[in-house]
Amino acid sequence: MTDSKTPQTPRPAQGALSPAKPNWPASDLPVLSLQGLGKEYRLYDSPRARLKSLLLGGRHYRSHWVLRDVNFSLQRGQCMGVVGNNGAGKSSLLKLIAGTLRPSEGRLQRQGRVTAILELGAGFHPDFTGRENLFFGGRLIGISEAELAALADSIIEFSELGEAIDRPVKSYSSGMVVRLAFALITAVEPDVLIIDEALAVGDQNFQKKCIERIEAFRLNGCTILFCSHSMYHIRRLCDKSLWLDKGRVVAFGDTESVLSAYENELRKQEEQAKPAATPQGDAAPDAGEASAPALAPPRADGIRAEILSLEVAHLDASTPPLLTHPDLVVTVRARVAPGERPHFGVMLEQARGTGITSVTTQTDGVEPISEGEGLWRATVTFPDLPLHSGEYVLSAYLFDEAGLVVYEQWYQHLYFRVVYPSVVPGLVRLPHHWASS
């Protein structure tokens, strides 16, 4: 393995979003390059077999390859999502790149400072105060004592721990630990940032700060590897994606192409796992049995950004209600902190989970309507709804102003029926015309 690092002066992290345009010089040299990378674990049937292998040599073990023949390279400023089922090798790959594991084969080249957000809070001593752990943990990740002294105030400010910074960490809640860990790990802007399922930490306000800092790193030229089961965040943050399955690369390329193929495979797996339908058919979900939305954690200021209502015009009183108008008109209302401007999303699916469409005010360039005192609403109309007869379900989403933080979701919250007079097969009526000559 080759690990080449270019010495650089650490760049203190910024808490706010950087300018929209990248501000780094172009370069053809990859910041990260993997060639035939693999990781093998040797499994011994007994301690005697392990000792025999050490003393006499020979193959007295079984090989388990968690990664094999991984190849890709990333330029400065690129963000790559890593997807795959549990056990695909995602975390092992990130640990190899971070340097906490050594590869069994292949070449790994890195340029510049590498920072990994893997297990937030790991390595903190419970009997040390937060301030002592700040200096202790900082040295472990390669920040000098002089740099830590200069950065300490900004780290403590970002963590929002206040006077608790001088209490033993064993008295902290888990949320306080991850606040301190994230603030410390991201205190110095890296050249390569590795994130393993640690994007949302703490309350809503702190989650927003974390995502803004990561986005600022990306816009400043930091190369990011982001492992997550959140397809939404991978689509929003990543321009490249890597799909792993059983330790091997299935696909690598532009994010939408890779995620579309991955999601298609997931749907196939779900279909194969479903029990066979009874002769009478599966019972449709009852409108009153929609799952209650998970409550988002409270913000540090005590105000919880939340969805207040999801309403559809022109529904009758049946169960599930029938849409009695050609247009589908959906209104979502929400509350956020005063002075904050949210964004809304609406997703339409078949009652059994087949996706039809999803829209957001952020991607459509629409400003929600303020109703005063932190209250907002958004109304979207699907004119002459082109759906055939069936049962459908709506979900609502509340985002921050950047469209990155999901404050709350009401997933599959409102069921309704559509009756189309013509009995024809299919799901939607697509615009079409027949040739007349």
**Rounded-to-integer distance, Cα 18 and Cα 350, Å:** 40
Q: Are residues 208 and 104 in the same domain?
A: yes
In this prediction, residue 13 carries a pLDDT of 55
Mean per-residue pLDDT for 179-200? 83
Q: For residue 54, tell me if it sits in a domain.
A: yes
- 315 and 358 housed in the same domain: yes
In a domain, 196, yes or no: yes
Tokens representing 327 are: 């247009």
- For the chain, the residue count is 437
324 is a domain residue = yes
Q: CA dihedral defined by 224, 227, 229, 230, rounded to 10 degrees?
A: -10
Same domain, 205 and 64: yes
CATH code (residue 215): 3.40.50.300
Provide CB contacts within 8 A for 159, sequence distance 6+: 130, 165, 179, 180, 182, 183, 184
**pLDDT digit string (tens) for 120-155?**
666 788 899 999 989 988 888 788 888 888 999 999
pTM score: 0.73
First CA to last CA across the chain, in angstroms? 67
The pLDDT of residue 107? 94
Shared domain for 243 and 334, answered yes or no, is no
Residues of the chain above pLDDT 70, percent: 84
**Whether the Cβ atoms of residue 299 and residue 205 lie closer than 8 Å to each other:** yes
* Mean pLDDT of the region 89-93: 92
Same domain, 248 and 311: no
Residues 309, 228, single domain; the answer is: no
The β-bridge relationship of strands 223-227 and 79-83 is parallel
Question: Which residues touch 315 (CB under 8 Å, ≥6 apart)?
Answer: 321, 322, 323, 324, 416
103 and 221 co-located in one domain? yes
Strand order in the sheet with 62-74: 62-74, 32-43, 105-110
The least confident of 62-76, 114-128, 165-179, 357-371 is 114-128
Using DSSP's 3-state secondary structure scheme, residue 273 falls into: helix
276 lies in some domain? no
pLDDT tens digits for 46-67? Answer: 888 888 777 777 777 788 899 9
Which has the higher per-residue pLDDT, 308 or 302?
308
Judge whether 135 lies within some domain.
no
Higher pLDDT, 110 or 288: 110
Say what the alpha-carbon torsion angle 100, 147, 8, 226 is, to the nearest 10 degrees. 40
Contacts of 231 (CB under 8 A, 6+ apart): 83, 259, 263
Say whether both 215 and 345 belong to one domain: no
| DSSP E strand stretches across 255-374 | 306-312, 328-335, 343-350, 355-360, 369-372
Q: Judge whether 342 lies within some domain.
A: yes
Which domain does 368 fall in, by range?
Answer: 296-418
Q: Are residues 345 and 229 in the same domain?
A: no
What CATH number corresponds to the domain at position 322?
2.70.50.60
Q: Are residues 384 and 236 in the same domain?
A: no
The reply to whether 73 falls in a domain is: yes
> What's the domain count of the chain?
2
| Domain shared by 307 and 262, yes or no | no
Q: Residue 246's pLDDT band (boundaries 50, 70, 90)? A: very high
Residue 164 lies in a domain: no
Say whether both 261 and 403 belong to one domain. no
Report the phi/psi class of residue 118: left, alpha or beta, with left for phi > 0 and alpha for psi in -120 to 50. Answer: alpha
